[in-house]
Structure formats: C-alpha cells, structure tokens
Structure 1
Amino acid sequence: MTSTPVGARTTLAAVLEVLVLAEAVGVDLWLDGGWGVDALLGKPTRLHGDLDVAIEERNLSVFVDGLRRSAFVEVGEDGATAWNFLMARPDGAVVDLHVIVLDEQGNGVLGPAARGTVYPAESLAGRGTLADRSVRCISPEWAVRFHDAYPGDADDSADVRALCERFNLTVPEQYR
C-alpha cells in the first residue's frame, strides 16, 4: 500500500492538468479516493494530498511517459508495487496509480489475480464532474464500500457521510 508524502497537495488545477494529459495521450482514467468523491459530489470539498486513479495496465507506459514530461517522477515509496505506486511533482502534486487489468466481465483486477483485489465492473461505472468537466470515477455505492474496507479518518468520514447523504445510501457503522 502506498503512502502519500507528507506535505503533498494536489490541487484542482493539478487534477485538471492530469486529466488533460490523459486525454491527450488517449488514456481513460477512473478517479478514486477523495478526488473521486469530489467528482461525484460535483465540487471540491477539502484539500487532497494526492489524486488516486485507476488505469488499465495496457495504457500505463504512455500515461507514465506523459506524467514524466509534466515533471512527475516516481516516488519509490515503501510498499510501492508494479500495480500501485506514486508519482510526484516538485509543486507537491501526487498521482497514486492503481493499475488494473479488465477481465472478461469488465472487473478491474488490481495486481496478481491470485491476490483477489478487484474493482468490480459496477464500481467502474461512476460519472462525476470537476470544474464542469465530466469524468469517470468509482460509483457512489462502491466509493462508500471501498472506504468502509479500512479504518477511516476524519476525511474518510466526511467523504462517506456526504456520499451517503447525496446518493441516499446507508452510512456504514464505522462512520455513524
């Protein structure tokens, strides 16, 4: 599991730059994590250390090359793997890459299949908006379920509560 560097700040402007870069190199991304929540809510709601994105493995090299041309470098953090690693820029922007392979059912397999870590197909069906730009993201139901899979902090609690209120979902026990 990756760990965002202390002091990292990924602004809306940086997120939009990454989305434009992905579009320019012909790569689809799914926003995950806090920025994915903000996209589902249609606006930034808090500061973010990083931008979590799910990306298909077949598109990884062209996207990483684009990030490098935009001054991003691999962080080399403890816990980095070929399927989950960070790239950061000197201005503090960080992209947390979650590399998936879509199976026959459209599920996004994260890492070796034997690990059993999957973005279910329905989780990859979310749509949101950031700065009037339509973006792909994790669906609201799955964003809540993914947040409930680990002990959350205050930001997670705020994210989950906002999603549940907006999309009429049940608030998980740990966030009540």
Structure 2
Amino acid sequence: MKADQVVSLLHALHDRGLRAWVAGGWAVDAVAGRQSRPHRDLDLAIDAGQLSLARAVLADLGFALTVDWLPVRAELTAADGRKVDIHPVNFAADGSGTQAGLDGMTFFYAADGFDEGRIAGERVPCLSVTQQLRFRQGYELRDTDHHDLALLRQHDR
C-alpha cells in the first residue's frame, strides 16, 4: 500500500461518514510525518458500529473479504494486491474503546489513544504515540517492531 493510496482510501471512508484511524505501521509513519519503510497493508481501527458500512465502502473500492476473524479483525484485498486490515472498536461514552482479541483477550483504547498525523503531507486520523506504544507490549518483537518503536520513542511527548 502506497502513501497516496492510503490517503485516497481515507478520503473515501471519510466522505461516507466513517470514523477510522490509521493503525499499525502506517500510524507510526503518520506520527513521524514521513514514510520510513514499506507497508504490506493498511491497518485501520474503525467504529464497530460502522463495520457494515466500512465493508460496503471497501467493496465499492474493489476490496473483497479474504480473512474473516470478526469480531477481532477482517482483512480485505483488492485485485492489485492492496490489503486493508480492519479492527472494529466498540466505543464508550468517554471516548475510550475496546476491541475483541483472540482467545477472549480484549484490547483497550484509552480516550487519549486517538490523534492525527501526516501521510503524503495530508493530515490523517491515527492512533496516538501513547496508544501505539501500549500495543507494542507483551509479545516477541520483530525487526519491524524494533524499527517502529525507535520512531515512536522519538515522537513520544
């Protein structure tokens, strides 16, 4: 997934009234304000109440469901190989949220877990540095995780 494709897809989701935040590696690059590495896919935290709409908009954009682990996550793939990994978040009144995990786990999004960054020079909604650091704990880190953590720590306020 290239930067201009990410921005275009975010515009399409926003234009349909969807609440979505860039997560994963692209969120790291969004807070850094520059692309630091290639990305296999685009991870999006979406409002779980808008899951059906998100899937419909992505289908209109040529994406088909290829991995269905809902309510945990779903991966959609376009004919050209682009992938979008959606993570449904159930929001509370205070702005925090939870996402179902495998084996009964739950991922918590604090109310301060949502921010903005820049991709291809455009402002985009993304997970905050603090939230991204929270999500990179409790598992064996890969090389990309070490890379991402170094960037996140440079931008931690």
TM-score, normalising length from structure 2? 0.90
8 Å Cα contact 2:129/2:155 also seen in 1: no
Larger Rg: 1
Q: Which runs of 5 or more residues in structure 2 are unaligned?
A: none
1:138 and 2:138 aligned: no
Q: Secondary structure at the match of 2:45?
A: strand
Change (3 A) 1:149 1:122: farther
Q: How far apart are 1:25 and its partner, in Å?
A: 0.6
Q: Secondary structure at the match of 1:99?
A: strand
Distance 2:107 2:125 in 1: 20
Return structure 1 stretches of 4+ with deviation > 6 angstroms.
Answer: none
Moved more, 66-75 or 135-144: 135-144
Judging by fraction of residues, say which structure has more strand.
2
Distance 1:119 1:88 in 2: 26
Larger relative CO (CA 8 A, sep 6+): 1 or 2?
A: 2
Aligned identity (percent) is 27
1:56 and 2:39 aligned: no
Matches within 5 A, 1:113-124: 115-124=105-114
| Superposition RMSD in Å | 1.7
Distance 2:44 2:152 in 1: 19
Q: Which amino acid aligns with 1:11?
A: K
Distance 1:142 1:82 in 2: 20
Q: How many residues align?
A: 155
Q: Which amino acid aligns with 1:59?
A: Q
The residue aligned with 1:87 is 76
The residue aligned with 1:74 is 65
Q: Which runs of 5 or more residues in structure 1 are unaligned?
A: 1-9, 169-176
Q: Secondary structure at the match of 1:26?
A: coil
Q: How far apart are 1:145 and its partner, in Å?
A: 2.0
1:98 and 2:112 aligned: no
Moved more, 137-146 or 33-42: 137-146
Moved more, 136-145 or 27-36: 136-145
